[in-house]
Amino acid sequence: MASPANASSASRSKRLTLVQRWRGGIVALVFVTLLALVWEAIVRADFWPQYLLPSPATVAARVLDGLRDFTIPRAIGYTMRRIAIGYGISVVLGIALGVAIARFHLLEQSLGTLVSGLQALPSITWLPLALLWFGLNDTAIIFVVVLGSLLAIVQATRDGIHNVPPLYFRTARNLGASGLAMYWRVVLPAALPYIITGMKLGWSFAWRSLMAAELIFFTPGLGHLLEVGREFNDVAQVMAVMVVIVFLGLVVDKAGFSRLEQMVRTRWGLAGMSE
């Protein structure tokens, strides 16, 4: 049973977290409002014609139109399905390869060197090869997404395992842990902050790779809506889709990765150290 002092401390911590979230939300709202006002001021100053720089109200109206006629929701569905498949493959393969490279010295010298070298290769450069191998279809897009995020996850997992303190290994062996049990119960939890960072970077790379691929492929998706807007010189549609893309990125970051990072920080006793 928790003592009254511990319960009180936990209650204060929860209240503090809630206040910080509200404060962060208010700051973000104020910043977005100021940004919109600056945008509107630039539009009213007539530096560029309206068809090149539409007002925030025009872009917002275009977003609402796209939601009402289901153009944007359908595009979001196609895009999110592709990235869910590609990114999911990247996470599974990336963690497995990262563990294998960190575990076996031969793989570190061979496959690890290849991973480090390929990191310098922009993911969109895989697109011509994907077209030749798979043709104009979703498989080619998913291939580009996988290659866009896989390497970052592999690298982060390998680095995370390499940075696990040797004391953890010695303690685990003394307690009878070995083999897969060692990695599952000790190594991976200790390397989890690095792995989550790699997953976050991998997500951003996958998202950019997907948008670039959809811009080139004539296939339903948010990238295709951007290309249609460009072809018809419809800047309002282009900016509306860009707003949707930014919003989706924020939702994934705040609802997914930020919560996961907070859980890890709490588990490691790091929550509140930066406050």
| Mean pLDDT score of the chain | 83
User: CB neighbours (10 Å) of residue 237?
Assistant: 22
Are 63 and 19 contained in the same domain?
A: no
Are 89 and 159 contained in the same domain?
A: yes
Cβ atoms of 78 and 213 closer than 8 Å: no
pLDDT tens, residue by residue, 223-253: 889 988 988 889 999 999 999 999 998 888 8
pLDDT tens, residue by residue, 87-120: 999 999 999 999 999 888 888 888 888 888 888 8
Residue 168 in domain: yes
Q: Which residue has the higher pLDDT, 26 or 71?
A: 71
Residue 227 in domain: yes
Are 18 and 127 contained in the same domain?
A: no
CATH code (residue 73): 1.10.3720.10
Residue 275 in domain: no
Domain of 7 in residue numbering reads as 1-47
pLDDT at 274 over 50: no
Residue 262 in domain: yes
pLDDT at 190 over 50: yes
User: CB neighbours (10 Å) of residue 164?
Assistant: 17
Cα gap 236→51, rounded to integer Å: 8
266-274 own/partner pairs: CB under 8 Å, 24+ apart: 268/193, 271/13, 272/13, 272/16
The percent of residues above 90 in pLDDT, for the chain, comes to 32
The pTM assigned to this predicted structure is: 0.81
Number of domains in the chain: 2
pLDDT at 3 over 70: no
Cα gap 234→147, rounded to integer Å: 32
Cβ atoms of 103 and 214 closer than 8 Å: no
Helix (H, G, I), strand (E, B), or coil: what is residue 135? coil
Cβ atoms of 88 and 211 closer than 8 Å: no
Tokens of 31: 């910043």
Cα gap 200→87, rounded to integer Å: 11
Are 88 and 208 contained in the same domain?
A: yes
